[in-house]
Amino acid sequence: MKMPDKKKAYCPKCKKSTEHKLKMYKKGKTRSMARGQARHERKGKGYTSKVAGKVTVYKQAKHQTVMMECMKCKHKHPKTIGPRTKKLLELTKT
């Protein structure tokens, strides 16, 4: 899927639609002291205990997430877009 790297969109900070820059979203580093992550790690601790018990079938195609940056106030917010696609999103320069 291809998409232009600039787009007009609603900015929650300016409270109106402005020009936005689009960037690929990257997942941040997991913090081991975060609530959910600590609980997950504690569950997996100990003698023969596995967290992942169920067999889950994952969907092959995923929604793509982009980081939208307002060009006026530089406010960033993530946005998931489009239909599910197997191919990674490509941002074309405009």
- Can you give the binding site for Zn ion, defined by CB under 5 A? 11, 13-14, 70, 72-73, 75
The amino acid occupying position 49 is S
Instruction: Kindly tell me which of 7 and 75 has the beta carbon lying closer to Zn ion.
Output: 75
Q: How far is the CB of 81 from Zn ion (least distance, A)?
A: 19
Q: How far is the CB of 21 from Zn ion (least distance, A)?
A: 11
Instruction: Kindly tell me which of 22 and 70 has the beta carbon lying closer to Zn ion.
Output: 70
- Residue-wise burial string across 14-34, b where 16 or more C-beta atoms lie within 10 A, e elsewhere: eeeebebbbeebeeeeeeeee
Residue found under tokens 């913090």: 31
